[in-house]
Amino acid sequence: MSEDFDVPGLIQSLPLFAKVKAGVLKKMYVDPEKAKPGQPTGLQDKHIQFIVAAPGEVIVRQGELDTEFYIVIEGIASAYRTEKDGSTRLIGSYGQNDFFGEMSAISHQARSATVKADAACTLMRMDVTLFQQIFEDKTSSFSKIIDERYRERALAFHLMTAPIFKETSQENLKKIAERAELVSFDKDAVITSRDDPADAVFLVRSGIIKRSVIDSQGEERVHDYLCDNSSFGEQALTKGDATWGYDGVSMSRVDLVRMPVALFQDVFTADDDKRNLTRQVSLLLQEEQGIKTSLSDEDRNELLVGQETIKGKEALVIDLKKCTRCNACVEGCVAVHEDGVPRLSKRGIRQGDLTLSSACYNCKIPECMLSCNFGAIRRDKDGQIHIIVDNCTGCSKCESGCPYGVIRMAHVLTPAEQAAQQPSIWASIPLLNKLIKPKPVEVKEEAPKGKQMPKAIKCDLCAGLPFEACVYNCPCDAIARRSPEALSGIGTARIS
């Protein structure tokens, strides 16, 4: 395909590459007359390819997790988005020299729309490695044009991935996108200082931020790592003098969306909008405090008496000599999770009659969090790791990244499936019966969809509850939490 074009002339004619450094352009095309001995010449198809799409052919599909960037060389293509109610709408068309795919290439976010060829199209496809290298040069025409179009076409869709905007209307998201600031920091830059006033909400477009504090012994204690599509600073929207709470330092070049508090005050003026925003902020901040936000206010007030101790440094141990295989532990786990999926895993390390179950260790440096590019993993103030199921795309990178095999992929029940569940026999157990009593579920008819992607789940140590359901419900006292260091001899045999 490339032989049909004057590739150097084509690249030079595209406005995107008008001020891109010559050294970077060589990763797209190498002039045979200027090549060094042994250097591959011509089109560098490791990073750049030309493709042809027939009329009606799908080039990218909504929801897919690819990251290529496309430039239209000839023809025209259109983007269509399917909304939650099943309706499909045209959101844009791309002609010669236009481009699409910048949001996924910047942040690894799933495709926000399906793009189809309206007529025969020739496109230049660029891989994410080269895209990000060119995009990092903020003085280039490439970066400036991409940011302009990102704000215009993609930012409102990107904001939808942040939990704080779960109930925000598209109209308000567009208003925020128009006035939000796109900011960048080089490696090792200080982004937030823990005692400074929190004055904005941030969404990470790309890069990694480390948040930490200095403890009483003068040692740095890492709280979490914020990667692509993570958000932080929601406490800035609460009343009072909220501070950042942690020192935030960039571990690589970082691109952020900054939304000042004043912007929220200007956009969320209607009472319903303010209530929805306040509710989402409250849920996020309660999760950071280790409160189980799926509980009703009545249940939460009854159960969360005092501040429970940190359970993240203990492991779940099953005494096989006492265990009768009654499955009460699993039933209890199902009962306290509204989606009906048990988090308890009976896999783990075995020594003699003891099994050290693969429950989350809430690692000091969480590999799962570093592996997630979708803002689906957060950490609360007690160091416990939580998975935001709505943000999970089912990519399974966290499952691969976890060194202990704690995370697994599972089908999480939809509201319709939850409503159809039969009440558990454990509804008669004191304390648990309030958590599992049937609740009215409003089920909307959903548009036909493809096979639902599995979601990442793990033991959450019954976060927000003053007990752990599996331990509480075991009639044989066969399951308990113990410090792994106290279990001498454990660690030689793994069972599944």
pLDDT number for residue 40:
72
pLDDT number for residue 190:
96
φ/ψ (deg, to 5) at 116: -120, 150
Between these two residues, 378 and 272, which has the higher pLDDT value? 272
Query: Looking at the domain assignment, is residue 283 inside a domain?
Result: yes
- Domain finish residue from 111, 128, 158: 158
Shared-domain flag, residues 190 and 139: no
DSSP string, 392-455: --S--HHHHH-TTS--EEE-PPPHHHHHHSPPPGGGGSTTHHHHHS------PPPPP-SPPPPE
Shared-domain flag, residues 398 and 317: yes
Shared-domain flag, residues 367 and 256: no
pLDDT above 80 (res 225): yes
Q: What is the CATH number of the domain that holds 178?
A: 2.60.120.10
Shared-domain flag, residues 270 and 331: no
pLDDT number for residue 443:
41
Per-residue b or e along 322-350, where b marks 16 or more CB atoms closer than 10 Å to that residue's CB: ebeeeebbbbbbbbbbbbbbbbbbbebbb
Q: What is the pTM of this model?
A: 0.70
pLDDT-wise least confident of 106-120, 175-189, 390-404 = 390-404
Between these two residues, 256 and 464, which has the higher pLDDT value? 256
pLDDT number for residue 66:
87
Give the confidence band of 414 by pLDDT, cuts at 50, 70, 90: low
Query: Looking at the domain assignment, is residue 489 inside a domain?
Result: yes
Shared-domain flag, residues 132 and 11: yes
Tell me the average pLDDT of the chain: 80
Among candidate residues 288, 282, 290, 287, the one with its CA nearest the CA of residue 306: 290
Query: Looking at the domain assignment, is residue 307 inside a domain?
Result: no
Give the confidence band of 39 by pLDDT, cuts at 50, 70, 90: confident
Shared-domain flag, residues 488 and 340: yes
Query: Looking at the domain assignment, is residue 306 inside a domain?
Result: no
Shared-domain flag, residues 240 and 102: no
pLDDT above 60 (res 423): no
Query: Looking at the domain assignment, is residue 393 inside a domain?
Result: yes
pLDDT number for residue 401:
82
Shared-domain flag, residues 190 and 174: yes
Among candidate residues 97, 100, 1, the one with its CA nearest the CA of residue 60: 100
Query: Looking at the domain assignment, is residue 216 inside a domain?
Result: yes
Shared-domain flag, residues 206 and 324: no
Rama region for 92: left / alpha / beta (φ>0; ψ in -120 to 50; rest) = left
- Domain finish residue from 110, 143, 158: 158
Query: Looking at the domain assignment, is residue 302 inside a domain?
Result: no
> Could you tell me the residue range of the domain that residue 242 belongs to?
163-288
d(CA 370, CA 397): 9
Between these two residues, 195 and 32, which has the higher pLDDT value? 195
The residue-averaged pLDDT of 311-318 equals 62
User: Which residue type, as a one-letter code, is found at position 233?
Assistant: G
Shared-domain flag, residues 380 and 447: yes
Structure-token pair, residue 488: 């001498």
Give the confidence band of 441 by pLDDT, cuts at 50, 70, 90: very low
Number of structural domains found in the chain: 3
Shared-domain flag, residues 61 and 208: no
Residues 180 and 259 sit within 8 Å (Cβ to Cβ): yes
d(CA 496, CA 489): 19
- Domain finish residue from 225, 254, 288: 288
pLDDT above 60 (res 36): yes
Shared-domain flag, residues 343 and 266: no
Query: Looking at the domain assignment, is residue 300 inside a domain?
Result: no
